[in-house]
Structure 1
Amino acid sequence: MSEELDRIRLSGLRARGFHGVLEHERREGQDFVVDVDLGVDLAEAGRSDALADTVHYGELAEALVAAVRGEPLDLIEALAERLARVCLAEPRVCRAEVTVHKPQAPVPHAFDDVSVTIVRRRETGSGTDARGRG
């Protein structure tokens, strides 16, 4: 897929989760902030003006929040993978860029944010993996 995809962005989605390697992170939880940038062909939705021809971002937000609230993980890298799978479960999404922010990370210095960003693509069946590698 060499052509540029249209995009849907959902930024600043907040949910409380219990992810982290430290015991107090698992016990007390903390807020996570999620940004997703989805590669989608929106041509049909643009022509039809029908919700059925696009990604329902309200439903996607619900699924992402449920994933953040789900089973605890040690790493935000693993949480980002979980969230990318949620995005790619929507058949219209070809590419998902997911950023997970952990603004309350246990860092012993003043900081604004800790985040990880991953990019995953739908498997095409042509020997290309979800990262777009052959």
Structure 2
Amino acid sequence: MNPLDEIAITGIRAFGRHGVFAHERAEGQEFVVDAALYLDGAVVQRAAVTDDVTDTVHYGEVAVRIAEIIGGDPVNLIETLAERIATAVLEGWPVHMVRITVHKPQAPIPVPFDDVTVSVTRVRIEGAL
């Protein structure tokens, strides 16, 4: 296999109703997602030569799908949300590995804090998707 190249999308923002508490589900809040997509370097090289978006992973489409998942069916844990996003990216695009970080900056924590994140890294297992 060729080396893996990375396409990163950071700061994808969308409104969701995820959380353990009823008020989180009722009021909702903004979630932020960072996605790092790792694909075969030959794909990136081919796209660089052809200068054609159809020869690579269209990061705009990926970002839209991530925002749809954030705004979709609520879950209790951002771990579950991260897993859903990682699975969707692996199933939807020719990436070998994905790292998804979900930020929940308005998490209900009773002390001052800047952010809460959960990151998952998932690798495509050929034949499993």
Fold agreement, TM-score > 0.5: yes
Q: Which residue pairs with 1:22 in the alignment?
A: 21
C-alpha RMSD of the superposition: 1.5
**Residue-pair matches, total:** 126
Q: Which runs of no fewer than 5 residues in structure 1 stay unpaired?
A: none
1:57 pairs with 54, 59, 62, which one?
A: 59
Q: In structure 1, the residue corresponding to 2:96 is in which secondary structure?
A: strand
Aligned residue identity for 2:99: E
Q: Is the 8 A contact 1:31 1:102 kept in 2?
A: yes
Runs of at least 4 residues of structure 1 off by over 3 A? Answer: none
In 2, the alpha carbon distance for the partners of 1:74 and 1:4 equals 37
Which of residues 112, 119, 122 is equivalent to 2:121?
Answer: 119
The one-letter code matched in structure 2 to 1:52 is: T
Normalised by the size of structure 1, how large is the TM-score? 0.89
- Distance in 1 between residues matched to 2:92 and 2:50, nearest whole Å: 19
Q: What's the counterpart of residue 100 of structure 1?
A: 102
Q: Which amino acid aligns with 1:113?
A: D
Higher RCO, 1 vs 2 (CA within 8 Å, ≥6 residues apart): 2
Structure number with higher helix proportion? 2
The letter for the 1-side match of 2:37 is: L
Q: Which segments of 5 or more consecutive residues in structure 2 lack a partner in the other structure?
A: none
Residue 88 of structure 2 aligns to which amino acid in structure 1?
A: V
SS class of match (1:97) = strand
Secondary structure, counterpart of 1:10 in structure 2: strand
